[in-house]
Amino acid sequence: MRKAILTLGAGLVAAAAGILPVVSATAASAAPAPHLTGSVNIDNPDLYSGFNNIGGTPTASTGSLTYTNFNYADPGSGVWSLHKGTPIHFNVAVGNANFNHVLIVDSIEPSGPNALTFTGHGHWADLNGPDGPIVNWTATGTVSGGQMVLHLTYTTGPAGYVGYTATDTFTIAPDGGGSGTSSDAAVTGITLDPGSLFEALAFNAPVSNVSFPNGTDAQFSSVVPAGHALAGTPFTVKVHDGGNPGVGHDTWSQDGTSYTVDGGNLTVH
């Protein structure tokens, strides 16, 4: 709303002085009500939480929480994740030949409400000997939106294999499989088996019972909304703003249990 600009004559100024309240310097410079913003990544479970301008009081709370647990299944959420420690099969086609590969994800690091990075290892399943796989590789990658990118580096194998690298980019299908292309010009196609990825628990929900015990701590309650796994489940979060950077300083506690903050930065201000 535009503020009207009034030009007061001397008489009106004097009259206004008699009827308008006197605002003290202390009141005029009072600090704004605190808010909680920013985001954190939590380790074990692999969790991302974003704080969308959370503020207010226990009886008049504002803002919302963005929440993704990349280890818990929530079919239909549209946010994809990977099972850790479970073999994931994909096929690499070179002309009419097909080469089976097995990926095992070792670690996941959330990087946003619908994105993660991961590390892993694997082997070329077609080349196995009596003592196990002959060709092994290490892997890093990302899952973001509807795409998975996998970077491979071969570490063992016959002459010419060690040091080979490739980047495979998959478009994720509704069944958790996928297909795509490789940076290796000889590769004519790549496919992920169905169920290689799963949809993770992900939602945005309003908060309630917001309070700020001091200038660095905040706590609030929320409920998993309808349409998601665990719908209707209430939970309470307490956080501490330990300064910048957040890793090693910020803390997160859910329903009385503390978890390690290994990414992001939250701010009580």
Domain end point (choices 164, 199, 234): 199
CA 234 – CA 21 distance, rounded (Å): 46
**What pLDDT, on a 0 to 100 scale, did the predictor assign at position 167?**
98
**What pLDDT, on a 0 to 100 scale, did the predictor assign at position 29?**
56
The tens digit of pLDDT for each residue in 84-143 reads 999 999 999 999 999 999 999 999 999 999 999 999 999 998 888 777 788 999 999 999
Q: Same domain for 261 and 215?
A: yes
CA neighbor of 181 nearest in space, from 190, 172, 193: 190
Within-domain flag for 18: yes
**What pLDDT, on a 0 to 100 scale, did the predictor assign at position 31?**
67
Within-domain flag for 3: no
pLDDT range class, residue 30, cuts 50, 70, 90 = low
- Residue 202 CA to its chain's centroid (Å): 9
Q: Output the domain CATH number for residue 192.
A: 2.40.128
End-to-end CA distance of the chain: 27
Q: Same domain for 161 and 94?
A: yes
pLDDT range class, residue 78, cuts 50, 70, 90 = very high
Q: Same domain for 84 and 189?
A: yes
Within-domain flag for 5: no
Q: What is the DSSP string of 226-254?
A: TTSTTTT-EEEEEEE---SS-TTT-EEEE
Q: Same domain for 142 and 158?
A: yes
pLDDT > 70 fraction of the chain, expressed in percent and rounded: 88
Q: Same domain for 60 and 101?
A: no
What stretches of 113-135 adopt beta strand conformation (E)?
115-124, 128-129, 132-133
Q: Same domain for 217 and 236?
A: yes
**What pLDDT, on a 0 to 100 scale, did the predictor assign at position 3?**
37
Within-domain flag for 4: no
Q: Same domain for 134 and 179?
A: yes
Q: Same domain for 26 and 114?
A: no
DSSP secondary-structure letter at 77?
Answer: S
Within-domain flag for 1: no
Q: What average pLDDT does range 182-186 have in this prediction?
A: 97
Q: Is residue 261 within 8 Å of 41, Cβ to Cβ? A: yes
Domain end point (choices 157, 181, 199): 199
Within-domain flag for 117: yes
DSSP secondary-structure letter at 174?
Answer: T
Within-domain flag for 243: yes
- The rounded mean pLDDT for the chain is 90
pLDDT > 90 fraction of the chain, expressed in percent and rounded: 83
Task: Give the chain's domain count.
Answer: 2
Q: Same domain for 161 and 207?
A: no
Q: Is residue 72 within 8 Å of 201, Cβ to Cβ? A: yes
Domain end point (choices 199, 229, 254): 199
Q: Same domain for 63 and 169?
A: no
**What pLDDT, on a 0 to 100 scale, did the predictor assign at position 132?**
75
Higher pLDDT, 160 or 188: 188
Q: What average pLDDT does range 205-221 have in this prediction?
A: 97
Q: Same domain for 118 and 186?
A: yes
Q: Same domain for 126 and 209?
A: no
Residue span of the structural domain in which 136 resides = 80-199
Within-domain flag for 165: yes
